Chain A
Amino acid sequence: DTEVTQTPKHLVMGMTNKKSLKCEQHMGHRAMYWYKQKAKKPPELMFVYSYEKLSINESVPSRFSPECPNSSLLNLHLHALQPEDSALYLCASSQFLDPGANVLTFGAGSRLTVL
């Protein structure tokens, strides 16, 4: 299995809802990443987990809460989001935390719309 699987592919939620995005990989990768991508823009790093511990948090608002329950799973819990949080959320993984030497494998993304 050489894929990163993201669910759901599309999500529409209100500002008072609580939802979660899920990311799964079975390549034995020990680093997992969340990126946010607005239309026609490059991805922006949000969080990085290495060996199931949060390694990098790029000053993301607390309404986004990451969770890494095990080495294969990465969740992004969403609560009280704003319309400007609407974007494509990309998950990626790499064998170790060195995205130069260890190439990132990306998922197809979850497109989030906040009403």
Chain B
Amino acid sequence: AQTVTQSQPEMSVQEAETVTLSCTYDTSENNYYLFWYKQPPSRQMILVIRQEAYKQQNATENRFSVNFQKAAKSFSLKISDSQLGDTAMYFCAFILDDKIIFGKGTRLHILP
């Protein structure tokens, strides 16, 4: 069975700093997807970034980038130049076929 582990329940950083959220997963499959979702206080889950396992190149979306280490089964999210609006719960998600497995989340606070 697949599992997703986010080892940092909560983090705080100063505005404009860079922060890295960790995520590890366990699977014996070779083709899958990995996502990071953000859930701000407004409650809506918003896709931050996605990575296909067969792609070696790390995904990047503006200030958000991932460090995908397939052999180590690691998928960390780096937020550069953090902004107050980045304050949210961040969920790492593993997707295989029609199943999505979420990690328990990391609550990120961006401090002014």
Contact = CB atoms under 8 A, between A and B. Distances in A.
Nearest to B53: A100
B44 A56 contact: no
A103 B91 CA distance: 15
B98 A108 contact: no
Interface residues on B, range: 20 to 34
Contacts of A100: 32-33, 52, 95-97
Interface stretch (A22-30, A42-50, A63-71): A42-50
* Most chain B CB neighbours (cut-off 10 Å) among A97, A99, A108, A111: A99
Query: Chain B interface mostly helix, strand, loop or mixed?
Result: strand
* Most chain B CB neighbours (cut-off 10 Å) among A98, A100, A103: A100
A90 B98 contact: no
Given A42-B105, A108-B42, A109-B43, A99 B100 contact: yes
A103 B50 contact: yes
Interface residues of A, number: 23
Contacts of B102: 42-43
Nearest to B104: A42
Contact of B44 (A97, A108, A111): A108
B45 interface: yes
Interface of A: 40-43, 45, 48, 55-56, 88, 90, 92, 97-101, 103-104, 106-109, 111
5 contacts: A48-B98, A55-B98, A90-B43, A101-B33, A106-B44
Interface of B: 32-33, 35, 42-47, 50, 52, 89, 91, 95-98, 100, 102-105, 107
